[in-house]
Amino acid sequence: MSCGVTFQPIDNTPNHEQALLFDPSNYYAIDVLAWSTEDVLSAGVLDDKGAAEATADVLHAFETAPVAEFDLAQMEKYNERRLKFAGTIQLQELSDAAFAALLKQGSAAGFYIRAVKMSGFGRTQRSKDRDMAAYNEALAYLEQNRSYIAHDSRCLDLMLDLWWLAHAGQHLLEGERVVLPFTEDEWRTVLGIATDIENGGSSHRPAILAFLRGLALFHLKNIGQSLTVFRELERESDRLRGPRRIIKSY
């Protein structure tokens, strides 16, 4: 005799995404997504578009993971799974034919996979200078194709992270009490990217995006709108878990 528990989503959001939204500091939702996708890809049951979309979803989960919030055991497992997934899919270049087919079907997965590969996903040996060159190459690629990725939250999430690295010299939300060096135009860029991602409605990190939007509005001297965003964020954050809720980043 066997028994089991079935978890039903409260809306149309997949269970792993609900887990990430509720507690982004928990690595295990990413782990389940990665190994289950590996199994499906290995079984060859997906068409080219389905396989590319599934691959992009896992890469997106890895790239947006709040690694600073993982404990040592979770961080070790995260790195092991990340490298294993990179090895499993081999992160080979999409052929031009496959890329064109995805684009024709309205999928931006090809752009995302190529940009992640450019940025150095799966490397075991990394140097700061080489990383920055790779990050800038991937950022330029996404910016050049902004019209094609305008409605893909995965690509825009990656663009935001790469842009932040290029202009702030560190990862998003890295460190505490950091004074950001952005100009007024750069704050407008932050606001624009964050708003575009929010409008897509499928980011893993809505609280962070709202925080950035409020921060940008504040620096652009839209104080009233900024305070409204932060009040809404304060109410929403009561439903979230993880240490990031109380860290003063900026």
207 falls within a domain: yes
8 falls within a domain: no
6 falls within a domain: no
Closest to 175 measured CA to CA, from 244, 116, 98: 244
Length in residues, the chain? 250
Which burial class, exposed, middle or buried, applies to 208 when counting CB atoms under 10 A from its CB (0-12, 13-18, 19+)? buried
Report the pLDDT value the prediction gives residue 90, as an integer from 0 to 100: 62
Instruction: Estimate the share of the chain in helix, then strand, then coil, as percent rounded to the nearest 5.
Output: 65, 0, 35
Q: Is the per-residue pLDDT at 187 higher than 90?
A: yes
Q: Evaluate whether 200 touches 209 at the Cβ level (below 8 Å).
A: no
Report the pLDDT value the prediction gives residue 9, as an integer from 0 to 100: 36
pTM above 0.85, yes or no: no
pLDDT tens digits, one per residue of 37-81: 989 888 888 888 888 899 999 998 888 887 777 888 888 888 888
Closest to 142 measured CA to CA, from 122, 121, 117: 117
Over residues 96-110, mean pLDDT: 89
Report the pLDDT value the prediction gives residue 7, as an integer from 0 to 100: 32
Report the pLDDT value the prediction gives residue 91, as an integer from 0 to 100: 56
What mean pLDDT value characterizes the chain? 81
84 falls within a domain: yes
d(CA 56, CA 39): 15
Over residues 81-102, mean pLDDT: 77
Closest to 143 measured CA to CA, from 199, 196, 180: 196
Q: Domain total for the chain? A: 1
Report the pLDDT value the prediction gives residue 123, as an integer from 0 to 100: 57
Q: Evaluate whether 30 touches 78 at the Cβ level (below 8 Å).
A: yes
What is the sign of the dihedral through the CA atoms of 155, 113, 175 and 232? positive
Higher per-residue confidence, 12 vs 156: 156
Q: Is 118 helix (H, G, I), strand (E, B) or coil?
A: helix
237 falls within a domain: yes
| Structural domain boundaries enclosing 65 | 15-246
Report the pLDDT value the prediction gives residue 238, as an integer from 0 to 100: 65
88 falls within a domain: yes
Report the pLDDT value the prediction gives residue 17, as an integer from 0 to 100: 54
d(CA 64, CA 82): 12
5 falls within a domain: no
d(CA 74, CA 71): 5
Least confident of 24-28, 111-115, 147-151: 24-28
Task: Tell the residue number behind the tokens 């080979």, with chain if given.
Answer: 92
30 falls within a domain: yes
H/E element holding 143?
A: helix 128-144
End-to-end CA distance of the chain: 55
